Structure 1
Amino acid sequence: MRLAGGVDVGSRMTKAVVIAADGRERNGAILGRGSLYTRFDLAAAAAQAMEAALADAGATRADLVYQAATGYGRYQAMERDLQITEITCHARGGVALMPDARTILDLGAQNARAFRILGSGRVVGFRMNDKCASGAGRFIERVARALEVELERVGPLSLQADAPCAISSICAVLAESEVINHVTNGETIPNILQGTHASIADRLCSLVRQVGLEPPFALTGGVARNRGLVHAIEERLGVPVLLHRDAEHAGAYGAALLGRQRLRQLAAATTA
């Protein structure tokens, strides 16, 4: 089989997907997925994530005919044929996963990006968070660590709150101190977590409003799995959130689709 691959080298996680190198561009099903912690060796993370995606598809490196890379570490993906910006890949991948989406919020570990798109996946409006350490993922991680709560439990626990605490800091480091103060004052963990989600959701929804919210509205990125944060965003925007089981892989999927498109262009130029 001939496969096209996409790898998204993020600050916390590296994701990869493979799709058929032949077939219709917009409907290329994900055949294999891979993800792992990025850690310090970005090149190794990119290679290992792609190997995992190939194995998931029952394929080998010999089946991979083209590879596109995205994410902040895309230039460290040494076997890439093409590098593409995150916003372009998340737009293409997001609209391929959720064709009705017209506004997408990508929630990463370090950054959050809001963009408005056309049905083709073309970006017509874009904003990114610009505050130190205010990326949704890292913010939640630090709070969870301070409370000694596993990340997987943060969302469900926050939905049990009855009186959310106010978290005013936009800096993850200062917010951690604020959380400790709430614990000292006897606040419950659900109330602290929901207050954290409320603080993050306020900033994220501001990004969305800056690009101009046009429903349907979708989330991509690993943080989209946090139901507590999703609920807080829905409350503030007043619209339901579209989610897809592959939302975490949207960037890698977009890279794979765009890589396949480039491969076809090269093939057409060769035969012309």
Structure 2
Amino acid sequence: MITVGIDVGSITTKAVLLNGSAWRSVIRPTGCSPREAGREALEELLNRAGLARGDVDFIVGTGYGRVSLPFIDRAITEITCHARGAHHLLEGADMVIDVGGQDSKVIITDGKGNVVNFAMNDKCAAGTGRFLQVMAAALGADVSELGELSRGAEPVQISSMCTVFAESEVISLLAQGVGKERIIAGIHRSVAVRIAAMAERLGKGELILFTGGVARNEGVREFLSRELGREVIALPESQLAGALGAAVLAREILNRK
């Protein structure tokens, strides 16, 4: 039984092919066309696996661009997919903190990959990958460098979480001679404070997995752990949780038929 999950996010598109207990993945930029990004991710995944489209038994699409994929068999929300993917990556995880390009989510599960409750910030860029991208540009850095640049730095206070005002604040701090590493640490703490507040409203997770593209940022993960007072785990595969969950759900759908 071969299934595929495709998670089309605002910044990156992830695809996972699940074959028994083995799985492989592809990550590529979404660009301006979610449909093309999804199609190209599927083609690349199949080429790497040496498979044809007809070899795949079921495809589930998720993410904000899931409605743009005409070749999928079913669309499932990213909240459901991230919960199931998190359980597959870290068995027993009962809280999932997912921070992507355009929104951040906290998902409470039953420890078996089923959603119990969730909260979502999708009204503004604050606390998302897009916010970090804008801040990185203001600092003349690449967003992928932020975690390393802030390592061990004492965070400066960032007062605003509005992207426009925070960008002005960062530029002002630079003009005052404040070190980039302290500013970045302050940005990470601000993001963590916002997400932790959302998480605390839902309850305390015993085993917390950090997913989404921002999970690769060690600075945000570290401040999240501090704010929540317990370990927040990020795995090398965390960014793939949504696509992996979609592939797992595709297999479960087939098993029910």
TM range (shorter): over 0.9
TM-score (norm. length: structure 1): 0.90
Q: Relative to structure 1, is the Cα distance of residues 135 and 202 closer, same or farther in structure 2, using a 3 angstrom cutoff?
A: closer
SS of the aligned residue for 1:192 comes to helix
Counterpart in 2 of 1:118? 110
Partner AA of 2:235 in structure 1: H
Contact 2:221-2:234 within 8 A present in 1 as well: no
Offset at 1:255?
0.6
Of 59, 63, 76, 1:67 maps to: 59
Matches within 5 A, 1:224-239: 224-239=215-230
Q: Bigger CA drift: 190-199 or 164-173?
A: 164-173
% identity of equivalent residues: 40
Partner AA of 1:204 in structure 2: I
Offset at 1:29?
3.1
Deviations 1:109-150 (A, max 9, x none): 111100111132111121112542114201111111111112
Contact 1:108-1:135 within 8 A present in 2 as well: no
Tell me how far apart the structure 1 counterparts of residues 159 and 230 of structure 2 sit (CA, whole Å). 25
Matches within 5 A, 1:167-178: 167-178=158-169
Q: Which runs of 4+ in 1 moved over 6 A?
A: none
Unaligned 5+ runs, structure 2? none
Counterpart in 2 of 1:35? 27
Tell me how far apart the structure 2 counterparts of residues 119 and 161 of structure 1 sit (CA, whole Å). 35
Partner AA of 1:173 in structure 2: V
Contact 2:84-2:114 within 8 A present in 1 as well: yes
Partner AA of 1:143 in structure 2: M
SS of the aligned residue for 1:210 comes to helix
Offset at 1:54?
2.1
Counterpart in 2 of 1:139? 131
Tell me how far apart the structure 2 counterparts of residues 80 and 130 of structure 1 sit (CA, whole Å). 25
Of 29, 39, 42, 1:47 maps to: 39
Counterpart in 1 of 2:231? 240
Contact 1:34-1:56 within 8 A present in 2 as well: no
Counterpart in 2 of 1:154? 146
Offset at 1:173?
2.0
SS of the aligned residue for 2:107 comes to strand
Tell me how far apart the structure 2 counterparts of residues 202 and 119 of structure 1 sit (CA, whole Å). 25
Tell me how far apart the structure 2 counterparts of residues 64 and 198 of structure 1 sit (CA, whole Å). 43
Contact 2:93-2:112 within 8 A present in 1 as well: no
Contact 2:110-2:116 within 8 A present in 1 as well: yes
Unaligned 5+ runs, structure 1? 267-272
**1:127 and 2:119 equivalent?**
yes
Tell me how far apart the structure 1 counterparts of residues 37 and 135 of structure 2 sit (CA, whole Å). 26
TM-score (norm. length: structure 2): 0.96
Partner AA of 1:47 in structure 2: R
Counterpart in 1 of 2:6? 7
Contact 2:156-2:186 within 8 A present in 1 as well: yes
The two structures, once aligned, show a CA RMSD in angstroms of: 1.4
Counterpart in 2 of 1:196? 187
SS of the aligned residue for 2:153 comes to coil
Contact 1:15-1:36 within 8 A present in 2 as well: yes
